[in-house]
Amino acid sequence: MKQKRLKSRLVQRSVVMLGVMGLSLAVIAGCTAMEVLSPIRNSSSPEQTGSQGNVIKAVKTATVTKQRIGDPVEQSAEVLSSFQVTVNAKTGGDVDQILKKRGELVQEGEVIFRLKSSDAVLQREKALMTLKSVQEGQARAKKEFEQARNSQENSRLETINTIKKMEQGLEDSKRSLNKMKNDYDKGLATKAQIEQAQTQLKNAQMDLELLKQKQRTTVKIEPAPVSELPLINAQLELQQADQVIEYLEVKAPVSGALTEMPLEPGMSVSAGASVGLIQKLDPIKIKSLLNEDATKYVRGKKELTYYLSGASRKNKGEISYLAPVMDSQTKAYELNLEVPNHDVSLKPGMKLRVQLTDEEEQMVIAIPTQSLLKDGEDNFVFVLTGSDTVEKRKIQIGRLNEPLQEVLSGIKEGEQLVISGQNQLKDKDKVQSAPSEGQK
């Protein structure tokens, strides 16, 4: 009986203790909830309550500055000849002498090899003989004309002298006739003598008139028209033959490296045949393939820096071409630099590095990555405006180099950026700001 009473008392005590413990836990939980929901008003709290009852949130800020985002952006590149020129034989013949071998440097106008052609020599001799024949024929015709003209001139002068003599003789005959008439009146001359003198005078007058008429009707000898066409044709034939002889020396059309020349002495070459390939090495071309993001660093620039891998020396090269659209096969944008190469230190096939940005471009507006907020595809930050209000800003980001993120647009140098506590903020929130540890 006593044991039953003892057990009953123990059960009652256990129930009471469990009730007390449950009540204590409920009180503690209620107090904790009140602490969470009620703002703390002491000075050490990160939040304060404003006059309107709004919560003022504590944040840390930092001044937006330009910082070095990293090393210059580089791209691999390859050295190529600026262009290639095919060497063609302008006439046919047999290879007689090779002066330049494959791989050697040649200068513009320098003889690479010589051809020989008996047909070309024969054609020149024939053209030369034709020209001489035409020239001799024209010279002979000219000489004959000069002789005929000189003969006519001599005849003309002789006729003039004869007329003068006949006129003088006619005057003398007239005076003699008059004297004879006077003598006839004096009985010193006969009538027959007078008639004879008159007849002689009349004949002399007739001869003089005939000679003058001949002088008037004489036509001056003019040179016969000589066609210049035979001479012109002969000269052209000789020029063509000389040109063929000149073409027997095959010369370099440009300066560069002779990369192909598959000929040996004695080989026959036909006119127009490709007999060599010259790569232009000065200037030289540097080619690189860029993705779309990389083209943003290049557009608008006139030159870029390049250097040989492992070399400390850097040089500038002029941008000669940047593809406006992506190549459908390479899926890239082609970039070409044109570089002077007087010493031929750069050769096709060499690998280079091209700097798409310089050291100055590495100094950009950059923010801590921890201050960046994302909303879908967009990027945002909070900027302190005034002394206690934040503004939510959409920004455009660029290069990433942890712990820094380049900002292309959206914020400016000198603005105050929220770098801690931004996750609890909304646009136009009131805040209590404190500078970051590094900017106190």
Res 440: pLDDT: 53
| The pair of three-digit structure tokens given for residue 134, joined into one six-digit string | 């035409």
Q: How confident is the model at residue 437 (pLDDT cuts 50, 70, 90)?
A: low
Q: Across residues 44-55, what is the average pLDDT?
A: 52
**What are residue 176's phi and psi, to 5 degrees?**
-65, -40
Name the most confidently modeled range: 51-55, 126-130, 186-190.
Answer: 126-130
Higher per-residue confidence, 222 vs 79: 79
Q: How confident is the model at residue 309 (pLDDT cuts 50, 70, 90)?
A: confident
Q: Across residues 256-262, what is the average pLDDT?
A: 92
Res 226: pLDDT: 67
**How far apart, in whole angstroms, are the C-alpha atoms of residue 20 and residue 434?**
47
pLDDT exceeds 70 at position 15: no
**Whole-structure pTM value:** 0.55
- The single residue listed with the structure tokens 């836990």 is 25
pLDDT exceeds 80 at position 18: no
Q: Among 48, 65, 67, 62, which residue's Cα sits nearest to residue 384?
A: 62
Q: How confident is the model at residue 66 (pLDDT cuts 50, 70, 90)?
A: very high
Q: Which helix (H) or strand (E) holds 251?
A: strand 249-251
Residue 269 CB-density burial (10 A; 0-12 exposed, 13-18 middle, 19+ buried):
buried
**How far apart, in whole angstroms, are the C-alpha atoms of residue 412 and residue 425?**
21
Least confident of 110-119, 140-149, 233-242: 140-149
Q: Side chain identity at 80, as an amino acid letter?
A: L
Higher per-residue confidence, 223 vs 243: 243
pLDDT digits (tens, 9 = 90+) for 126-147: 999 999 999 998 888 888 888 8
**How far apart, in whole angstroms, are the C-alpha atoms of residue 243 and residue 186?**
97
Please calculate the CA angle 136-139-144 and round it to the nearest 5 degrees. 125
